[in-house]
Amino acid sequence: MKISDLLQFSASREPGATALVFDDRQLSYQQLYEQVCRLANGLRRIAEPGDRVAILSENCIEYVLAYYGVPLAGMGLVFLNYRLSAREVADILDDSRPTVLITEQAYLETSRTASAGVESIHTMVCVDGSDGGAAGTVPFASLFEGSPTTEPDTSDESLAWLLYTSGTTGKAKGAALSHRNVTTAVCNSAISWDSSEPGPVRSLFPWPLCHIAGYAVLVSHLQAQTLVLMRRYDPEAFLALVQDKRITSITGAPTMLAMLLRHPAIDRYDTSSITRIGYGSAPMPAQVLREAMQRFPSAGFQTGFGMTELGGNVMIHSMADHVAAAQGRTELLESIGKPMALSAVRIVDDDGNDVARNEVGELVVRGEQVLTHYWNRPDATEEALRDGWLHTGDMARCDDAGYFYIVDRKKDMVLSGGENVYSREVEEVLHQHSAVGAAAVVGQPDELWGELVVAVVEPRAGEEPAERDIIEFCTGRLARYKCPRRVMLVDELPRNTVGKVLKRELRAQLGAGAAPAPTPAAPSVDSGSAQS
Amino acid sequence: MLLGDVIDYGARQFPDSDALLFEGSTTTYTQLRRRAGRLAAALSTMAGPGDRVAVLAENRPEFVEAYYGVPMAGMALTFINYRLHPEEIAYILVDSGARVLITEPRYLVPMLELRDRLPELATVICTEDGEPVAGDLGYEQALAQAPPDEPPRGSEDDLAWLIYTSGTTGRPKGAMLTHRNLLTSLTSWMIESAPGIGDTCLMPFPLCHVSGYGVLGYALRGSTLVLRRSFDPEDFLACVERHRVSHTPLAPTMLSMVLAHPAADRYDTSSLQVIAYGGSSMPVEILRRGMARFPSARFNQGFGMTELGGNVLFLDGPTHERAAESAPELLGAAGRPMPLAVVRVVDDAMADVAVGEVGEIVVRGDQVTAGYWRNEQATAEVFAGGWFHTGDMGTVDGEGFVSVVDRKKDMIVTGGENVYSREVEEVLYRHPGVAEVAVVGLPDEKWGENVCAVVVAATDAPPLPEELTELCSRHLASYKKPKVYRFIAELPKNASGKILKRQLREAAQPAAAGNRTTPRTVIT
């Protein structure tokens, strides 16, 4: 099964239904499918099956066309994060060696700079701009001229999507996803997600398509739903679209939802059409859930867990679970739920044996959605894929009722004085401090302790907490060895396009800037002797 | 993913929900998972990975446990139709080389008598139904004695189910279905037609038939299955009313029987939301009457085969509604390809036929059987050209709806003309005096074959053949009209309600020995 078959299925069933809406443009399933076929045929004129085609752009209809059309041409779509610097884009282009780069006016400069040293790229395609596009680029529209609306002959065994994931050290790795990986992830979600909505589903999608979260577009399309795409998330534009299009399904990060609930415009829009709210990236605070349930009384809540390497989600935390959580079992909100129907998930120790209930181990996953390999990185592939299981690098535990909890990223664990400190656990405590807006805990190399627990804090607006206060706050709530030894205050934590804090950047800053801290006479944080 | 993962999912997501209700007993998903695991462990002491474990029983919880437990042991669950003659069962047991047989008291004695002819059969397990334990050991005993550890995990391409299909000619063949085949079929089905979470459902088909795979879908939705030993039309109605059943599969002949039952209107069936029919072609008249009798329900159809591990074409609810209102020809359609199947209608050269032309329905995809058990020749025949040949003749319309015109083998060739039996049957169904009809070809020296209609009358006053002939001449070309009418009390059917035309052909031979049916033969 090819990725485009997911779309073709709905085009054969509901050709006239609206598949995609973006600004004032919309495409029916039949139209979208035909455009995808034409794009694939057009790409075949300028590149070969087996090539990579990279895309550097923000959200637009053309991006969705590329999602399906590039793999249909037998080529691998390389997703480029539009927030990367030219140098970082160049690194990815150098690694993936595409022959074609699709971009837009806003990123033309970056594209040109980044592709300067990449000989494989022979064609740059621009999705916007006046006729003729910019000099040296081919207009995206020209790929469609004269291209048939029937599928080219393509195998489903080739590379379909190539997404780069940030590593802790060195360069990002390309997760190579086959047609089977992506279609399995989509089918897994299609059959595992709560789909109890009575009528037609209209989903609003404001998230960057250059992230694996975009697989949700395919899930919507497999089920012949209408997807309303935003170029970028903006709270008021979001609310306006919810009202105008009678959106039934929204997704977001909890912080985004919290901010939306407090947005002055929220009472000016009719949001009664919402029946499903999906979220991810972080756990949902109980208070936010309760407020959201009040504000969106017809909505069910759902979350899960996934990774780029998994082509999407593998865990589901259902609507029923959220109802239970709202009714008092708030600890459930910390959970990522349970494995979905088509994914096998275990928690193992260093020897690959299952850990006991409530014990922490590494989350490992098996299934046909698991990536085939890391591009050009046999070492990383061998390390991550062992005995047929993907080692996610996430530390997790499973409770007696079968609910899974992410305890920490393996790489984010701080090893201090021989003890594992789960950064997330410390962060949760820090978040309870009234002056703390956001916090990230990382390890800083230390000769004596191995690593020091360091808290990097983004204060709440208008607050200027003292380091000592923050440390003291923790000592009452955490074992001594878990408490931060240092607190760094920053204006803003570095984050990626979906809001996740980039800890490797923090580590890089700490590693590069600081000389090894002099050993305190006694490792007693009560005396406030932590160095700053 | 493996079959065991399906019940794992059910037990994780819906641990305390009822999985099975059977004659007053209840099994939760947690219990079902545990018992399937115990069965797997027990079997691992009696046989090895790759071995066959046969089940000979009517519908009961142990059968559902075996659905999961046998494949969880790395073994192949071998389905035996309980209505077969012991000789036919012996054939299947020998052909499959089953090492273990799980059965129930009713079928035990004939099996024990066959034992000498079954050298591969090491163990006979019998369910304990309050009677003294018979066979080698009782089912509960086997579970109780099972070692604590479950067998190691197998692979997707291991044989999970081995289902013997009744051939129209020759001996039954075992269709091999791997975990991959079944999970693909299940995923495709779930995308089309999953029950709601926690719905109460029925399974009127015998579990020894591929249609039982629907039970796997119930586990993915935490549905409660009200399990009955076998299908009975009044029992069906009573269950729907008593348990407020919302979702049920049904064979066309089962629907006919329910509609014809005198008590049909006495039961409150308003809880029904989905009736998913399939197994054989649904006569349009019956479907119309069904839609009228069950107005609360959405009808949908799945077209499939044993060799396909389930269904590959789907005719959805909205299409039924559209068909009933304004596109009646769609009521006779089989449906459109399901998400994970590739389906074509092709001519003898394997080229797609034009819209409206008749060809054979062929299929490709991960759910298609790898072949027949130890029968390379039959396997090669059915995969000519690289696609699986269903043996069903069909057409495809401009919207992609495939309609089954006839089984290739049921097609009648008379005077050099092809006559599709289904087409003639659909016309005859329009006569109110016709409750059921099967059209078959009878050999004829002059014409090759003659068209013969075997009719079950709706009332004590059967329709006159002249009336039927007149009805046909209004709707059919002359050469398609039946030359011979026979009237019969009951059509022979298999356990899943499919009419056995082969038996009709044999019985209709004027010179057939041992012909027990006493039809009234009228030659027009």
> Worst-scoring range by mean pLDDT, A133-137, B162-166, B184-188?
A133-137
- Distances in whole angstroms, Cα of residue A429 to Cα of each of A406, A413, A474, A500: 16, 16, 7, 18
What average pLDDT does chain A have?
89
A108: in domain: yes
Q: Mind listing the domains of chain B with CATH numbers?
A: 3-18+28-177 (3.40.50.12780), 231-407 (3.40.50.12780), 412-508 (3.30.300.30)
Q: What is the pLDDT of residue A498?
A: 67
pLDDT tens digits for range B58-112: 999 999 999 999 999 999 999 999 988 899 999 999 999 999 999 999 999 999 9
Judge: B187–A187 Cβ closer than 8 Å, yes or no: yes
Structure confidence by residue, pLDDT tens digits, B425-482:
999 999 999 999 999 999 988 888 999 999 999 887 789 999 999 999 999 999 999 9
For residues B481-485, average pLDDT: 94
Question: Tell me, what's the pLDDT at A167?
Answer: 56
Q: pLDDT by residue (tens digit) across B249-297?
A: 999 999 999 999 999 999 999 999 999 999 888 888 899 999 999 999 9
Q: Is residue A370 domain-resident? A: no
Residue A292 reports pLDDT greater than 50: yes
A388 close to B (CB below 8 A): no
Domain boundary among A125, A143, A178: A178
B187 with A194: Cβ contact below 8 A? no
Domain boundary among A178, A211, A238: A178
Whether residue B512 has pLDDT greater than 80: no
Q: What is the CATH number of the domain that holds A452?
A: 3.30.300.30
Query: What is the number of CB-based contacts under 8 A between chain A and chain B?
Result: 53
CA B391 to CA A483: how far, in whole Å?
72
- For residue B245, the model assigns a pLDDT of 98
**Predicted confidence (pLDDT) at residue B343 exceeds the cutoff of 70:** yes
Q: How is residue A171 written in tokens?
A: 């360069």
Of B13, B187, B400, the CB nearest to A342: B187
Separation in Å, CA of B493 to nearest CA in chain A: 34
> Does the pLDDT of residue B517 top 70, yes or no?
no
**Looking at residue B158, what is its pLDDT?**
98
The closest CB to that of B196, out of A191, A196, A320, belongs to A196
pLDDT band at A512 (very low <50, low <70, confident <90, very high): low
Would you say residue A98 lies in a domain?
yes
Our measurement of the distance from residue B217's CA atom to the centroid of its chain's CA atoms, rounded to an integer in Å, reads: 16
Yes or no, beta carbons of B339 and A338 under 8 Å apart:
no
Q: Is A382 among the domain residues?
A: no
Q: How confident is the model at residue A508 (pLDDT cuts 50, 70, 90)?
A: confident
Give the pLDDT confidence score for residue A479 in this predicted structure: 84
| Average pLDDT, rounded, for chain B | 92
Residue reference for tokens 């005077």:
B415
Whether residue B518 is predicted with pLDDT greater than 80 in this model: the reply is no
pLDDT above 70 (res A301): yes
Q: Specify the higher pLDDT residue, B129 or A127.
A: A127
Q: How confident is the model at residue A429 (pLDDT cuts 50, 70, 90)?
A: confident
The residues near A296 (Cβ < 8 Å, ≥ 6 apart) are A271, A274, A277
Q: Single out the residue of A151, A197, A121 nearest to residue A7, CA to CA.
A: A151
Average pLDDT on B33-47 reads 98
The pLDDT of residue A123: 96
Kindly state whether residue A358 falls inside one of the protein's structural domains: no
Query: Is residue A292 one of the residues assigned to a domain?
Result: no
- Answer yes or no: is pLDDT of A89 > 90: yes
Q: Report the percent of chain B where pLDDT is more than 70.
A: 96
Closest by CA position to A190, among listed A306, A313, A283, A273:
A313
Rounded to two decimals, the pTM is: 0.87
pLDDT digits (tens, 9 = 90+) for A158-188: 999 999 986 545 578 999 999 999 999 999 9
Looking up residue A110, the CATH number of its domain turns out to be 3.40.50.980
Q: What is the pLDDT of residue A530?
A: 33
ipTM: 0.87
**DSSP string of A113-156?**
HHHTT-TT--EEEESSSSTT-STTEEEGGGGTTT--SS-----T
Q: Which residue of B has its CA nearest to A321?
A: B13
Higher local confidence (pLDDT), B71 or A291: B71
First to last CA, chain A: 57
Does residue B413 or residue A6 have the better pLDDT? Answer: A6
Q: Which of A:316-345 have CB within 8 Å of B?
A: 318, 320, 338-344
Whether residue A348 lies inside any domain: the answer is no
pLDDT given for residue A187 in this prediction: 97
Average pLDDT, stretch A381-392?
A: 93
User: Which residues in chain B have their CB less than 8 angstroms from residue A342's CB?
Assistant: 1, 183, 187
Mean pLDDT, rounded, for A45-59: 97
Domain count, chain A: 2
Residues of A in Cβ contact (< 8 Å) with B183: 342
What is the predicted pLDDT for the residue at B510?
Answer: 61
pLDDT at residue A394, rounded to an integer: 92
Q: Which of A191, A194, A195 sits opposite B187 (nearest CB)?
A: A191
pLDDT in tens, B45-63: 999 999 999 999 999 999 9
pLDDT-based confidence at residue A366 (cuts at 50, 70, 90): very high
Domain of residue A81 covers 29-178
DSSP readout, B110-153?
HHHHHGGG-TT--EEEE--SSS---SSEEHHHHHHHS-SSPPPP
CB contact (8 A) between residue A1 and residue B1: no
Report whether B193 contacts B109 (CB < 8 A). Answer: no
Signed CA dihedral, B295, B297, B298, B302: sign only: negative
The answer to whether residue A462 is domain-embedded is yes
The residues on B that touch A, with CB distances below 8 Å, are 1, 5-6, 9, 12-13, 15, 183, 187, 190-191, 194, 196-197, 220, 316, 336-337, 339-340, 400
Contacts of B1 in chain A (CB under 8 A): 341-344, 367-368
